[in-house]
Amino acid sequence: MSRSTLEVSGMGCICAPGNNLNEVKQSLYTGERFPMPPKKIETQLDFAYPVFEVASNLQDMDEEATRTTKLALQAVHEALSQAALSPLDLQKLRVGVAIGTTVGCTLNNEPFYREYHAGNNPGMAVVDRYLANNPAQYIARKYHLTGPVATVANACSSGTDAIGLAKSWLKNDMCDLAIAGGADELSRVTYLGFISLLISSASGCRPFDKKRDGLNLGEGAGIIILEKENRLQQRGADSLAQLIGYGTYADAYHPTAPHPEGTGLKKAIEYALRESDISPEMVGFVNAHGTSTPSNDKVEGNIIAEIFSDRIPVVSTKAYTGHTLGAAGAIEAVFTIQALIDQKLPATPGFEQPDEECRISPTTDILEIGTEIGISNSLAFGGNNSTLLFRRAN
């Protein structure tokens, strides 16, 4: 296994706060957020629960691409641009593509399913389009890439696990460079599903707040470019950060709830720390999963306090993006890296009253930090828990 350091050379992001990383940063550092009733989802509900929709209509993207794929492509383009990599550069390398998604686009094909269920013949165009829009394969085809390709569907940790998979590819010399992250679009099925689970907030979500009452769904994509240190040096490019640790562990406790004692999350964090030879005291902040649901925030808060102390700076950026499901871990990885670059954390909007059962309180104002290392958590339905550990570039 290669011991070469894994460098992040480019990042891209599109979500409700902005159509690119610069726009998103502006919202994060001004505390602006825009939860509102969905514009692209129709229901017969008496009340429209707010969501975080991407403002861009993405009409200039590939016509055959679904919205999920378009979100991913937008973030990939931005990340490659920042990494100073052209399509021709990529074709000279073994480039892997790992993309996490949960909803993808299949759940937005309700008219087809209804027609089929009614005994009609709706035609297979919708199915063909869906099958052609495996996001990782779509990106690999578009850029003519020849490395390993995988789409990871592991609920809310999909984006984090895709980055972890890409890390493994590079460490085992399966590719020279990897495009990794996650993308997900809003869907009527998931929108109604989360409402039926009674975990959707009727207002803007409030991570870790004592009066938190649920999450808001969102959509978007986050992408990072990962490459080996020696190859980055060969092409004279700059590093934004280093990916130094990844841990994942399943609770196998409940289809949707985390283990009450946070068993899986604790083991995932501890593995990432051991792998990177980092002690808890060296970690400067946590970008929490922070969904604003009662049990999730309580479990995560207790594990953060147990491993790192109850005074470590914590932020939940879902207060700006909503819960973007399969994209969440990747978007939050981008935000974690950006915080290391900027040496500051945004406030966590909506948080007002500490909850003693959570044991931690997130940021309430922009916080200047002086740290080299940050961590990003993901807790998923199905009991999966994953963690990424990043170090600021020298």
Active site residues: 156, 289, 323
Phi and psi of 173, rounded to 5°?
A: 55, 35
Q: Considering Cα of 273, then 276, then 278, then 284, what sign does the dihedral take?
A: negative
Q: Are 154 and 141 in contact (CB under 8 A)?
A: no
Report the Cα–Cα distance between both ends of the chain, in Å, rounded: 24
Distant-in-sequence, close-in-space partners of 234: CB < 8 Å, separation ≥ 6: none
Distant-in-sequence, close-in-space partners of 78: CB < 8 Å, separation ≥ 6: 10, 11, 12, 13, 14, 20, 21, 223
User: Any idea which residue has 């706060």 for tokens?
Assistant: 17
CA distance 96 to 122: 36
User: Any idea which residue has 């009452």 for tokens?
Assistant: 213
CA distance 106 to 72: 16
Burial 112-151 (b: 16+ CB within 10 A, else e): beeeeeeeeebeeebeeebeebbbbbbbbeebebebbbbb
CA distance 212 to 273: 30
Parallel, antiparallel or unpaired: strands 314-315 and 344-345: unpaired
**In Å, what is the CA distance from 47 to each residue of 36, 60, 188, 201?**
12, 33, 14, 11
Phi and psi of 348, rounded to 5°?
A: -105, 95
Q: Facing residues of 342 across strands?
A: none
Question: Which residue type occupies 85?
Answer: L
Helix H or strand E segment including 193:
helix 188-196
* Residue 380 tokens, joined: 């998923």
